Amino acid sequence: MNFDLIIKNGTLHSSQKSWQEDIGIKDAKIVKLAKFNDDELNNAGKVIDAQGLDILPGLIDSQVHFREPGLTHKEDIAHGSKAAVLGGICTFFEMPNTKPATTSVEATQVKVDIAKETSYANFGFFIGASGKNLDELVKSQDMVGCSGVKIFLGSSTGDLLLYDTDKLVEIFKTLDCHISVHSESEERLHANVAIRDNANGDVHAHYKWRDAQTALESTKMIIEVAKKAGRKVHILHLTTKDEIEFLKDQKEHCTIEVTPQHLTLFAPDIYDKIGTLAQMNPPIRTKDHTNGLWEGLKAGVIDVFGSDHAPHTLEEKDQPYPASPSGMPGVQTMLPVMLTHVEAGRLTLEDIVKYLAENPAKLFKLNKGFIQEGIDADLTILDMNKRFTIKNADQASKVGWTPFDGMEVQGTPTYTIVSGQVAMDHGKAIKVQAKPIVRGK
């Protein structure tokens, strides 16, 4: 057999172990793990010598907002996916709060078709639940390139909102596919709105308006919906110690995501430092909540990391609060930021594999996330000896900024392999033929 690509001399990682083996890739699959001889190496289409490098299964970012169509002045699939591969991400799942909102199979297919032409990384797109489009949600379940259904329980960026428990139970009972939720109580947001309206430009009001109880009430509600429907729900960007305490006994009903922002940044410090650039939904909270998320991670409550890459331009962000929009970039910086926690001893590379490869692949039923024969040839290759500083100027996102500007990190993605093709080589993104995800049963 002549291989399309052989990666030799690297250290391979799963969530359970690390080991030495060469990787043979053909037709976008890992087809052989072995020590290859000279004939095999000489006949391969390409050989990467990964001596001294760490090889992870291709990392998956299961929550990004790439803004196309309708909001492409601040991001599009081309720029967002380029940022992804520069950050070692091989596959992304994009959210439906575009303009118009992605609430039909037809609108989802439009995104898939754009991504086939412009994306640097493999891709999937969420269809949004509006409360009036159950037929479209049902039709989307077996669609190539559709990663599942997204529900906004509290109003965020865009027009999608659904907080009617009867409609939620109907959706949950009807669908077999993955359902992700943004969990904030719309009722409490309305009740607390005076905090926002009387902020007088002070962005610190953001995490006081969208307080911990706002998140907890919504999360308790959606767990009851999941129980009534007899199925699991995936709770995105969890932010509070209160939810961790509640959900640790509810794991049979849910899976949970946290972001690098909520594990790394905290109030009031980050708002003092970067102002409205720190504004996102749910908000960056005080240090006790950051600590609570880490405790939840240690206790096994958390399942995946996601970036919630949600860019807005500096001009938009420069408006006085609350006119400033919520959201920040993150797909390019997620892995480097999490590697700072590896350096600090809070995580291991095996944890990175667990939360950014294996668990997302299992959750979305993908033929990805592992370095095994027969698995899709998506790989993230790291140089853990290289130290660098995250800079606004290096960001591929259209908005050109990051809340982590100036952070020094130890370890950097060196190659990103997407469907057996080199999509990033030492900081240079390379356009490859990316593929839509196919969910298993």
DSSP helix/strand/coil, 51 = coil
- Count of CB atoms within 10 A of residue 280's CB? 27
Contact between residue 257 and residue 296 where contact means Cβ atoms under 8 Å apart: no
In the DSSP assignment, the letter for residue 376 is: B
Per DSSP bridges, beta strands 18-20 and 11-13 are: antiparallel
Which residues pair with residue 397 across a beta bridge?
none
CB atoms closer than 10 angstroms to residue 302: 23
Give the span between the Cα atoms of 312 and 242, in whole angstroms. Answer: 29
Q: Rounded distance, CA 145 to CA 416, Å?
A: 21
User: Which residue shows structure tokens 């639940």?
Assistant: 129
Q: What is the DSSP string of 111-171?
A: HHHHHHHH-SSEEEEEEEP-SS-HHHHHHGGG-TTEEEEEEESS--SSS-----HHHHHHH
DSSP state of 30: E
In whole angstroms, how far apart are CA 63 and each of 34, 209, 236?
Answer: 34, 24, 8
Distance of CA 140 to the CA centre of its chain: 21
Q: Considering the candidates 308, 318, 378, 405, report the single residue annotated as catalytic.
A: 308
Residue 166 is among the residues annotated as catalytic for this protein = no
CB atoms within 10 A of CB 193: 12
In 248-405 the beta strands, taken as DSSP E runs, fall at: 254-258, 304-305, 379-389
Catalytic residue set = 308
